[in-house]
Amino acid sequence: MNRKIVEYLKMNEVEYKERFSLAKLSSVRIGGEAEILAFPDNLRKLVSLVTFLEKTKIKHKITGRMTNILFSDDKYNGVIIRTDRISDYQIDNCVLSVSCGSSIPYLASVLCKRGLSGFEKIAGIPGSVAGAIIGNAGAFGMDISSCLTTVTFFDYDTGEVITLDRKNLEFSYRTSAFKKMKTAVLSASFLLTPSDCLSVKAEMDKYKKIRKDTQPVGIPSLGSSFKRPGESIFAAKLIDECGLKGHIIGGAQISDKHAGFIVNIGNATANDYINLSEYVKKCVYDRFGILLENEVEFVK
């Protein structure tokens, strides 16, 4: 596998690293080596690479900024594709057109400078546009799908590049149609509201401060580990009521600032993270009869 893919990457001028530690790039600083880590820097290279990997049946996984994936401690015997170099964008009046790997916080700061409103509540989500769309990421009662208009993706099954309107993409709480499809999300467009730079900045600062006051900002994590189990039932509250804040397994800890976050306080392994999240689920189930669902994806 290695020789075949390395030849392909060289020939197609895709930068790559061999046997690269995923812990170095994952926001929770956990993960074994990837046999190959590839960095396509444009959409053409991304589509061509996934087509090649599908055809040659080489195991692979597209990632954005790795802020919602827990990689196994074992070696990933395949190709991890990181898309953060595919990050161009265009703004035309109130329409933002953006490629998959663009960072949400960076885009929010650009929109703020242009006096465009729409990203203030999600500005603190550290992922890519594609990662956020796939999981319909959101914060403070707003999901990314609310200002999204279209998504363009490569469909593995048909080999076609397709653009669909938001209403056809089954967005709901932390999910979308992409969760069930085999696709590479390529780009998206958003409709923003004209405002002014100062008001947008004031809103962004307000939400940034709330995050800073209530979340373990700066400590390696994958954000909230569990989905909200009901409209007004919060996983963090249930975990807190079980007395689990600060609970540690190995190097993983239930944040003592926000019980929904599992943080890496030392040299946490994926097993520490998983064992801790299973323990949390058991405690919450035993006490409240509610089964928490992971928000984080485990990749091995």
Ligand X SMILES: Cc1cc2nc3c(=O)[nH]c(=O)nc-3n(C[C@H](O)[C@H](O)[C@H](O)COP(=O)(O)OP(=O)(O)OC[C@H]3O[C@@H](n4cnc5c(N)ncnc54)[C@H](O)[C@@H]3O)c2cc1C
Q: Residues interacting with ligand X, by CB under 6 A?
A: 27, 61-69, 83, 100, 125-128, 130-132, 134-135, 137-139, 183-185, 221-223, 297
Q: How far is the CB of 194 from ligand X (least distance, A)?
A: 25
> Shortest CA distance to 188 belongs to which of 94, 98, 119?
98
Q: Is 203 a catalytic residue?
A: no
Q: Given the residues 174, 187, 203, 228, select the one marked as catalytic.
A: 174
Q: Which is nearer to ligand X, 16 or 207 (CB)?
A: 207
Strand 60-63, strand 76-82: pairing:
parallel
31 or 249: CB nearest ligand X: 31
In angstroms, what is the minimal distance from the CB of 291 to ligand X? 20
Structure token digits, residue 220 = 């390696």
Which residue, 65 or 247, has its beta carbon nearer to ligand X? 65
* Residue count (the chain): 300
> Which one from 224, 225, 255, 277 is the annotated catalytic residue?
224
What residues contact residue 267 under an 8 Å CB cut-off, 6+ apart?
A: 251
| Annotation says 221 is catalytic | no
Q: Whole-angstrom Cα distance, residue 212 to residue 205?
A: 10
Mapped onto helix, strand or coil, the DSSP state of residue 129 is: helix
Per the structure block, which two tokens stand in for 145?
A: 């799908």
Enclosing H/E stretch for 50: helix 43-55
What number of other Cβ atoms are within 10 A of residue 52's Cβ?
18
What are phi and psi for residue 288, nearest 5 degrees?
-115, -10
Specify the residue, 128 or 195, whose C-beta has the smaller distance to ligand X. Answer: 128
Is there a catalytic annotation at residue 295? yes
Distance CA 48, CA 86 (A): 14
CB of 287 to ligand X, least distance (A): 25
Q: Residue 253 has which token pair?
A: 């800890």
Q: How far is the CB of 286 from ligand X (least distance, A)?
A: 27
Measured from the CB atom, is 131 or 192 closer to ligand X? 131
Smallest distance from ligand X to CB 121, Å? 9
Tokens of residue 34, six digits: 């990837």
- The Cβ of residue 24 has, within 10 Å, a number of other Cβ atoms equal to 12
Q: Calculate the alpha carbon distances from 213 to 124, 161, 207 in Å.
A: 13, 43, 10
In the complex with ligand X, the residue whose CB is nearer, 115 or 177, is: 177
> Whole-number minimum distance, CB 167 to ligand X, in Å?
20
DSSP string, 22-39: GGGTSTT----EEEEEEE
Catalogue the active-site residues.
Answer: 174, 224, 295
